[in-house]
Amino acid sequence: MNDKFYGIEVLNQDGSTQNLEEYKGKVLLIVNTATGCGFTPHYEGLEAMYQEYKDKGFEILDFPCNQFLEQAKGSDEEINQFCSLKYNTTFKRFKKIEVNGENKCDLFAYLEESAPYKGKGVKLGFLQKLSKAKGNEIRWNFTKFIVDREGNVIQRIEPTVDMKDVRKIVDELFK
């Protein structure tokens, strides 16, 4: 078990802290999100995966982030209501965070270090220019990280990857 990963604390929507140890033995998809982003429809594919695999030990951890063109405006409660009503999401959503810069949350610092940025492409290149991300920083909303049952980050998935391809990666973990 990866004690370093499971020792990370995150903030619930109500501001209380939660240790990732609660997720030991589960496959995780961790994602930074925004309700006003062109990738917001990814919520549909994420919820479909969650419904299919949640009883097999799959969790999606959703961390809203307003760092990219302020696409996650509103309070945590407003964001939660939007996602619940528009996309019928039922997976866990945490307090809004920062994924880059001085106030980067510990979880995303760990994820970036464990799964360095490798993505390329015209669309992502454009987003990178807008975000001004450097090194392994998050390029945009809906960057996804897959964590295995032992707490090891096994893959970073950039937001421009089609949700069908994300689904294939998750499907492989449950075969």
Catalytically annotated residues: 37
Would you call 62 helix, strand, or coil by DSSP? Answer: strand
Q: How far is CA 167 from the centre of its chain?
A: 14
CA distance 46 to 158: 14
Tell me the β-bridge partners of 9.
19
Which residue type is seen at 8? I
Is the distance from CB of 121 to CB of 159 less than 8 angstroms?
no
